Structure 1
């Protein structure tokens, strides 16, 4: 995916990315609800309980990452829109559009892996 060069294109890209982050948040909430149903089912044994705890922790962490990503996208869009330099976090770079694009790709990859893992677990019933 190529990064747009015009500021209006960049702003549109930020909007698209924020929408994608919101979709991931929604997906995580849905999976968390399904996990709650699994946790309260009669088939919840020790082995499944460990997997349930694993997914609870993964969902919490991925929601935290989604919140960080959304915040960084908002801040970068605001700063780039005003012509100010973007904010730089040492632990999560937001200093340029290419770094954000890379982070979004990793964000999607990790979410897709977690969703796939959860769906395999869910269908194992």
Structure 2
């Protein structure tokens, strides 16, 4: 692989890692907001929604953690420091990582919107 292509790929991966880290921070913040909502509500429908968001935050954080790990592994692979790859989540294919980031962004954005609407009306 050409050195300039490696640098470009590393820059892309680092941008994605920063984006994922920002999402992780935002999820932590949303969890704090949710904890405050728990204290304010006695409505059963709200409690069902709260449980829904708790589950969504757990799952979204798991996906973010996997993405962050895989992006780190990909950077190591590009730098020639990683000979072994995940069979179930290839980290040496930038197009695959790009597709996963697209999906991650979409699901994260939907969660943010849905949670924002819940907080606004609770």
Residue 12 of structure 1 pairs with residue 11 of structure 2: yes
Structure 1 residue 44: Cα displacement: 3.0
**Distance in 2 between residues matched to 1:121 and 1:37, nearest whole Å:** 13
1:29-40 aligned at under 5 Å gives the runs 29-40=28-39
Higher helix share: 2
Q: What TM-score, normalized by structure 1, do the two folds share?
A: 0.88
Q: Which residue of 2 aligns with 1:58?
A: 56
**Distance in 1 between residues matched to 2:59 and 2:121, nearest whole Å:** 24
2:78 alignment partner, one of 77, 80, 90: 80
Q: Which residue of 1 aligns with 2:109?
A: 112
**Distance in 2 between residues matched to 1:37 and 1:111, nearest whole Å:** 21
What are structure 1's unaligned runs of at least 5 residues? none
What are structure 2's unaligned runs of at least 5 residues? none
Residue 21 of structure 1 pairs with residue 10 of structure 2: no
**Distance in 1 between residues matched to 2:81 and 2:5, nearest whole Å:** 12
**Distance in 1 between residues matched to 2:53 and 2:42, nearest whole Å:** 14
Higher relative contact order (CA 8 A, sep 6+): 2
- SS of 1:6's partner is helix
After the TM superposition, list the runs of 4 or more consecutive aligned residues in structure 1 that deviate by more than 2 angstroms.
Answer: 83-86, 92-95
**Distance in 1 between residues matched to 2:84 and 2:109, nearest whole Å:** 28
Structure 1 residue 89: Cα displacement: 3.1
